[in-house]
């Protein structure tokens, strides 16, 4: 019997909100700072799929190996790929020291050379933190069951198959909102925020219904639709950010320019090969103003391939009110998923 769910399978996603929702129908989990991934195992075949539907197995061979070692030969798990900053226990509730994760080391894994990936897999092995079971070890799909029934099945699966495997771990959960608030207070140390899940709803593939996420800082994943050169020298000065509307048009919504001189030179090498119109298909960057020179008002359109996560303070009138702070590249995100819904 083959798996009833196969990649690409869109995972259930979360809507960004400002406060942790309260009530009997909510359960809370840490939001881990890594790559979201679905793990499919069917006999001796293992596939890892990113949130955007891309194949990840070649970049994380040690996780594939760990999944193949499990005595269950058939399952689909939903979880997060992380690289611990230190070789210690992942979960703070276990009594161990709070542990950070290295997102930069995750980004280094997305490399075309298999030899480089293999080297990094040995030096900085990744872990897989599991938080949902979509297909059990008998091949039975569980996505139509409410979370209140799926989670106990996941815990039973973890107790039976994961108890001796430190590379694959069960994510903690709680119904106590005070514990969730305590987890949220560690954002920036080891977590990316909090996930709240509705206990009474099934797994809604590809939607944001029934899951909410809370972060201590406001962030958004944006498409880099173009760039401007710096006023002096032929190097990138700022990235021009875009978000898609419901009709699929990419609107210019702001910029980020928080780069030093060395980073600007690297950005120039990265972006110039991608120059290609139209870049933005909706609202485009404005023209000259009393604050800009002719050179700084001109911009170069890019192929819409790159996603950047940025931090911001306000979003009004269809734009970031001030310049944003670049946080990191997100090669695991599909540019088409960078929608205006994130900042509503």
Which residue, 202, 196, 200, is CA-closest to 174?
196
Angstrom distance (rounded) from CA 163 to CA 79: 16
Q: Tokens 């008002």 label which residue? A: 297
Beta strands 319-320 and 35-42, pairing class: unpaired
Q: What is the Cα–Cα distance from 14 to 127, expressed in whole angstroms?
A: 22
Residues 264, 70: Cα–Cα separation, whole Å: 45
Mind spelling out the 3-state secondary structure of 74-123? EEEEEEEEECECCCCCCCHHHCCCCCCECHHHHHHHCCCCHHHHHHHHHH
Nearest C-alpha neighbor of 195 from the set 337, 13, 34 = 13
Three-class SS state of 178: helix
Q: What is the C-alpha to C-alpha distance for residues 89 and 295, in angstroms, rounded to an integer?
A: 52
Q: Is 255 exposed, middle or buried (0-12, 13-18, 19+ CB in 10 A)?
A: buried
Distance of CA 223 to the CA centre of its chain: 14
Distance CA 17, CA 31 (A): 13
Query: How far is Cα 334 from Cα 305, in angstroms, rounded to an integer?
Result: 8
Q: By the 8 A CB rule, do 20 and 194 touch?
A: yes
Tell me if 300 sits within 8 A of 275, measured CB to CB. yes
Q: Is 336 a catalytic residue?
A: no
User: In whole angstroms, what is the distance from residue 303 CA to residue 69 CA?
Assistant: 41
Place of tokens 């030093």: 260
How is residue 122 annotated by DSSP?
H
Is 320:256 a contact under the CB 8 Å cutoff? no
Choosing from 6, 31, 159, 175, which is the catalytic residue?
31
Catalytically annotated residues: 31
């Amino acid at each position: 019997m083959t798996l009833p769910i196969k990649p690409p399978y869109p995972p259930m996603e979360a809507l960004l909100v400002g406060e942790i929702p309260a009530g009997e129908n909510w359960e809370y989990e840490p939001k881990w700072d890594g790559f979201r991934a679905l793990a499919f195992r069917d006999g001796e075949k293992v596939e890892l799929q990113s949130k955007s539907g891309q194949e990840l197995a070649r970049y994380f061979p040690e996780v594939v190996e760990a999944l193949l070692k499990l005595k269950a030969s058939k399952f689909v798990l939903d979880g997060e790929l992380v690289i611990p900053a230190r070789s210690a226990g992942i979960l703070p509730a276990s009594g161990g020291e709070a542990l950070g994760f290295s997102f930069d080391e995750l980004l280094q894994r997305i490399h075309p050379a298999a030899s480089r990936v293999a080297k990094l897999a040995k030096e900085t092995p990744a872990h897989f933190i599991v938080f949902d079971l979509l297909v059990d070890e008998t091949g039975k799909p569980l996505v139509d069951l409410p979370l209140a029934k799926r989670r106990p099945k996941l815990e039973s699966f973890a107790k039976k198959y994961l108890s001796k495997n430190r590379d694959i771990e069960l994510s903690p959960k709680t119904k106590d909102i005070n514990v969730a608030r305590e987890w949220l207070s560690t954002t920036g140390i080891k977590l990316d925020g909090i996930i709240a899940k509705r206990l009474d709803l099934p797994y809604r593939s590809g939607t944001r219904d029934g899951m909410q996420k809370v972060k201590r800082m406001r962030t958004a994943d944006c498409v880099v639709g173009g760039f401007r050169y710096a006023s002096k020298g032929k190097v990138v000065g700022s990235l021009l950010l875009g978000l898609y509307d419901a009709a699929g048009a990419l609107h210019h919504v702001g910029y980020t320019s928080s780069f030093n001189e060395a980073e600007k030179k690297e950005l120039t090498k990265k972006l110039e090969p991608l120059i290609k119109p139209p870049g933005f298909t909706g609202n485009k960057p404005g023209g000259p103003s009393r604050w800009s020179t002719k050179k700084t008002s001109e911009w170069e359109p890019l192929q819409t391939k790159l996603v950047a996560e940025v931090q911001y303070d306000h979003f009004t009138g269809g734009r970031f009110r001030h310049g944003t702070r670049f946080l990191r590249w997100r090669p695991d995100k599909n540019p088409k998923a960078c929608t205006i819904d994130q900042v509503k």
